[in-house]
Amino acid sequence: MEKKVLITGGTGLIGKRLTEMLLEKGYTVAYLSRKKVNIPSVQVFEWDIQKGYIEDGALDNLHFLVHLAGTNVGEGRWTEERKKSILASRTESIRLIARKLSERNEKPVAFASASGISYYGQDTGDQQNTETTPAGHDFLSQVSIEWEKAADTIAALGIRTVKLRTGIVISKTGGAIPKMALPARFGVGAPLGSGQQWISWIHLDDMCRMYLEALENEAWRGAYNAVAAPPVTNEGLTKAICTVLRRPQWFPNVPAFALKLVLGEMAAVVLGGNYVINERIERETAFRYQYGDLESALKAELV
């Protein structure tokens, strides 16, 4: 029997590519979705978090569980309503699955959950953050803390659990890179704020390969910084994008006050940064990056 992988947030950036990789390896892939939609080669089960409902069959014969669901942090101003959605969509969703699994004798072998490098704080300057660095105290830090606590409700059922604290994902199909590349393509690329904030990044394919390893390798447990090395500054990333696209970068930095006027509190996402080190990946695992340097990662997506 093919092994079944159930994914929350499967239609997102990481979920789509991970699904492709899982199908290529012969897994059966299923999604939990708020609406019944037709997705080729994927079983789609409905769920309603507020009503505590998961469609019958979703948790049957389940080998692996992946949690990627969550309201997009980078879209829309952070109203109080949206902040509640950002948190609840990540936490209440997986707690619902934990409650349903606790009622069953049959449970998945392993569980991999997304988390964020914002765990350490929205802006930690030049501080080098490893998996043992204490958490921050701002909004996104609290989201990541609660996200991981929610994941621990699955671990409490005796299921091997991995939490991947994700950096900026390099992909042409979504995330921050297409937004940064668009002005660069027209010769108007510019660093944001001081430009000195650190960006810890990972290529989409390496991110998904890391999920596969987390599911399949019994040695993987706990939290890992899902980033490549080394990090780059916002200015350095802007220059690298311009270089790969063969475009000049001569516009001045976009001032912080202008970003705050446009984005409000959400401006902290682009004005802050984290120097994150993938210490556990490097020291404890045999994982090897397909795109270990920034230039090759950008060329794969932008050229």
What CA–CA distances, in Å, run from 10 to 7, 44, 117, 239, 284? Answer: 5, 10, 21, 32, 28
**Whether the Cβ atoms of residue 62 and residue 6 lie closer than 8 Å to each other:** yes
Q: How far is CA 242 from the centre of its chain?
A: 25
**Whether the Cβ atoms of residue 135 and residue 143 lie closer than 8 Å to each other:** no
Q: What's the pLDDT score for residue 272?
A: 78
- Find tokens 């789509």 and name the residue: 16
pLDDT digits (tens, 9 = 90+) for 57-103: 999 999 999 999 999 888 778 899 999 999 999 999 999 999 999 99
Q: What's the pLDDT score for residue 76?
A: 77
Q: What's the pLDDT score for residue 206?
A: 98
- Find tokens 């080729």 and name the residue: 40
CB neighbours (10 Å) of residue 170? 24
Query: In sequence order, what are the residues at sequence separation of 6 or more whose Cβ sits closer than 8 angstroms to the Cβ of residue 24?
Result: none
**pTM of the complete model:** 0.94
Distance CA 163, CA 165 (A): 6
CB neighbours (10 Å) of residue 286? 8
Kindly state the tokens that stand for 136.
């921050």
Specify the CATH class of 4-235+263-302 in words. Answer: alpha beta
Burial of 270 by CB count in 10 Å (0-12 exposed, 13-18 middle, 19+ buried)?
Answer: buried
pLDDT at 257 over 70: no
Residues 74-103 as b or e (16 or more Cβ within 10 Å = b): eeeebeeebbeebbbbbbebbbbbbeebee
> In whole numbers, what is the pLDDT of the chain averaged over residues?
92
Question: Under DSSP, is residue 215 helix (H, G, I), strand (E, B) or coil?
Answer: helix
Q: What's the pLDDT score for residue 194?
A: 84
* Angle, vertex CA 218, rays to CA 214 and CA 219, nearest 5: 85
Domain boundaries, the chain: 4-235+263-302
Q: What's the pLDDT score for residue 229?
A: 83
Kindly state the tokens that stand for 34.
């708020």
DSSP string over 105-153: S---SEEEEEEEGGGG-S--TTPEE-TTSPP--SHHHHHHHHHHHHHHH
What CA–CA distances, in Å, run from 13 to 7, 70, 112, 246? Answer: 13, 12, 16, 26
pLDDT digits (tens, 9 = 90+) for 145-194: 999 999 999 999 999 999 999 999 999 998 888 888 888 887 777 878 88
Distance CA 50, CA 18 (A): 27
What phi, psi does 214 have (nearest 5°)?
-60, -35
Q: In this structure, what DSSP letter does residue 265 have?
A: G
pLDDT category at 134 given cuts 50, 70, 90 is very high
Distance CA 38, CA 107 (A): 26
pLDDT category at 303 given cuts 50, 70, 90 is confident
Closest CA to 223 of 292, 151, 273: 151
Range with lowest mean pLDDT among 15-19, 77-81, 92-96, 114-118: 77-81
pLDDT at 251 over 70: no
Distance CA 190, CA 183 (A): 8
